[in-house]
Amino acid sequence: MRSIVDQSAGAKQFSHVPDAISLDHYAGSSMSPRRADFEGPVAANGMPARDLGLLLLDLYALASRTGIGEFENSFFLLLADHLSFDAGWTGVATHTSDGPVMHNSFTYQLAAEFFPSWTRVRDHDPLAQATSQSYGHAIAISIVEPGIDARFRDWAVKCGLAQLMCVCTLDHRFGLTTFLSVYRRALDKPFTNEDLRKLEDVIPHLAACLTINRSFQLTRERPAGAATPAPARALCDRFGTVHQADLSFAALLRDEWPSYDNEQLPHPLAQYLRGDIRQPFVGETLHIGCTPLVGLFQLEARPRSPLDRLSPRELLAIRLYGDGL
């Protein structure tokens, strides 16, 4: 079993970690699995290739059918049929010279204090350090192994975690890392090499499905047959990192900021996200509205119109005049 317990002294600080979102309040998906739509030998038969194929068949279908949060919860329910575990944690981060920066994450069957208490021992987490240096390779540890930092061991014991396994993968298009951690609570049930392989098989597909899920989020609730063109949309986090965006969104932003690269929002827009988002962002050429969405922000951009230059009082006068008052 591949494991890692050695840590270099003076680990760099993790920073800017938003709260994780608990999946405990999400109900299990009631929709039928995609495999049920097919005739023939599509039932699980204990063979690794068949089992993985069925998981992926259902997973890609869920990516397009479920909302953010609901998808992550459904993923863990599917994974539980493929791999034995008691709790899990998944999310998206970027790795910087100062360590990982968490953008959004979801906990499954973990206590509310799991995440805030982890932030106090994150510099001593051997899994986070090792997997960020070896994308696609799963790492597992047992909490009783020698060499584990005492602070991290105490944290795991308080959370009731005896076996820990983690893997992450990097999507070069947006520079985002998707991570997946699963845990067992029993000391006598360590993760095996087969368990490591299963997690490695799944992680690129989880990252791909997250992209699909976010893309469908951008197309949901668009009014059919609307008289005005639909706004360009993007999903980002409070750091200004873009998770998914329409092609038209990038084009609109380049009208305002020609050097925009579709990965990190321009500084004025990133600053806007940390302020009062109840008011739209109005630039020289565009107008952007913002809606909080399960730990992320959905941006809707359109070209700026002459009406955007009017004060609220002027807009009220125009509406009253249009109503014949």
* Same domain? 191 vs 156: yes
What values do phi and psi take at 197, rounded to 5?
Answer: -60, -40
Instruction: Note whether 195 and 268 are same-domain residues.
Output: no
CA torsion, ordered 253, 254, 259, 262, to nearest 10 deg:
50
Is the same domain home to 212 and 261?
A: no
Tokens of 242: 């873009």
Give the model's pLDDT for residue 37: 57
SS3 annotation, 66-126: CCCCHHHHHHHHHHHCCCCCCEEEEEEEEEECCEEEEEEEEEECCCCCHHHHHCCCHHHCH
Mean pLDDT, residues 42-53: 73
At residue 13 the predicted structure's pLDDT band, cuts being 50, 70 and 90, is: very low
User: At which of 149, 182, 217 does a domain end?
Assistant: 217
How many domains would you assign to the chain? 2
**11 within domain boundaries:** no
Say whether both 158 and 198 belong to one domain. Answer: yes
Q: Is residue 245 part of a domain?
A: yes
Q: Is residue 196 predicted with pLDDT exceeding 80?
A: yes
Task: Decide if pLDDT at 300 tops 70.
Answer: yes
User: How far apart are alpha carbons 101 and 95 in whole angstroms?
Assistant: 6
pLDDT (tens digit, 9 = 90+) per residue, 136-150?
999 999 999 999 999
Q: What are phi and psi of 59, to 5 degrees?
A: -65, -45
**Considering only 76-85, 186-195, 300-309, 310-319, which range has the smallest mean pLDDT?**
310-319
For the chain, state the CA radius of gyration.
Answer: 23
Q: What is the pTM of this model?
A: 0.76
